[in-house]
Structure 1
Amino acid sequence: MRTWTVRDVMTTAVVTVAEHAPYREVVDLLVGNRFSAVPVVDGSRRVTGVVSEADLLRKIEYAGAEAPRLFEGRRRRGERVKATGRTAGDLMSAPPVTVLAGTSLPAAARLMDAEGVKRLPVVDDGGRLVGIVSRGDLLKVHLRPDDEILADVPLRGGAAVPGRRRRPGAGHGRGRRGRPGRGRRPLVDDRHDIAERMTRQVAGVVEVVDELEYEYDDRAILGAGIAYGIA
């Protein structure tokens, strides 16, 4: 089964800014390109931070009230400091939340959700920028054609199981878009659950219609044997 990673869906042509880029230049870049955020990189294209619309808005939010106040929390104090920033390096959020190109799509989605971000800079092992991935990029797998999705299902037709060859004529399958069907298999053991779980993990599958049938279920037989003390 093919495992889709961030590398398969990321955008490689990434617009960036240097740490010394002035405030107005960053505003022009975000507004002109309709970006909500942009990576900040050093001379070696290592990601040192991300500057977003929210970071830039500190100048408006705290205009004329940049001085820290008594008993104010750390977060609020940091925001007031950003309001005095003049460059991308002053304004950016750091350290940046990044992801490796080989990260699986589910792991990338969980990271976005946990960090509350809409996109992630993609870096290599040295922290150098190689792309960017957004929430929309992760959803691209659900635009794949049915035939392409079915080709990635490791147990097509319900006749192949891990560690076994396919038995000709042993199964059939049907399905609708994003819903691979699972057909009949003459002999079934605990690999039934494995088959369904692996199919759900195929990129682009949104629902599995389980139509597996058995001649016997060896899990039930084993359970009965244990219950009677004969296994």
Structure 2
Amino acid sequence: MPKTERVAEWMTENPVTVTPDFSVLAAYERMRARGIRRMPVVDKDGALVGIITRSDIEQAMSHPRSEEERRMARFSLAGQTVAEYMTPNPITVAADASIGEAAAMMIRARVSGLPVMDNGRLIGIITESDIFRLVASTWAAEESG
């Protein structure tokens, strides 16, 4: 795998974001509807202040098994905000960092995605899935070459 691959080449640009005052239930529904597992949290000026994941919220719902438990879990989260469940000041990676650096950061921090920054501005998100796409495409190219 080329060591020159950069985060910017494999990240998802313009990630879906929320603000800290956003409803935690609405954030969860937004992630489910878009098929994503994490969202950067930005303030009104667009500065990164945190990250929230579906599992952060699911843990708070204590894994309801029945429809009644699901309703109760949702009720218990009603009125609560993203700020109450997000991880503040998340680890970030620079857009020009190598994929290897990003992967090492994720392994060390035990996280599955990192907000991508360029000159202090959030420009994307890189996830384990993105890195796996790179690995798979490299293997495919090696096998066909």
TM-score bucket (shorter structure):
0.7 to 0.9
Structure having the higher strand fraction is 2
Q: TM-score, normalised by structure 2?
A: 0.76
Q: Distance in 2 between matches of 1:22 and 1:15?
A: 15
Q: Distance in 2 between matches of 1:5 and 1:178?
A: 23
Q: What letter matches 1:49 in structure 2?
A: G
Aligned pairs for 1:175-214 within 5 A: 177=143
Q: 2:23·2:79 contact (CA, 8 Å) conserved in 1? A: no
Change (3 A) 1:136 1:95: same
Q: 1:59·1:84 contact (CA, 8 Å) conserved in 2? A: no
One of 131, 137, 141 as aligned partner of 2:130: 137
List per-residue Cα deviations over 1:100-152 (Å, max 9, x = no partner): 101111110001111111111101232x2101111121233331474xxxxxx
Q: 2:25·2:78 contact (CA, 8 Å) conserved in 1? A: no
Q: TM-score, normalised by structure 1?
A: 0.50
Long gaps (5+) in structure 2:
63-76
Q: What letter matches 2:84 in structure 1?
A: D
Q: Distance in 2 between matches of 1:100 and 1:31?
A: 27
Q: Percent identity?
A: 27
Match of 2:72 in 1: none
Deviation at 1:12, TM superposition (A): 0.6
Q: How many residues align?
A: 130
Q: 1:85·1:91 contact (CA, 8 Å) conserved in 2? A: no
Structure having the higher helix fraction is 2
Structure having greater relative contact order (Cα 8 Å, sep ≥ 6): 2
Deviation at 1:34, TM superposition (A): 2.4
Larger radius of gyration: 1
Divergent runs of 4+, >4 A:
none
Q: Helix, strand or coil for the counterpart of 2:88?
A: coil
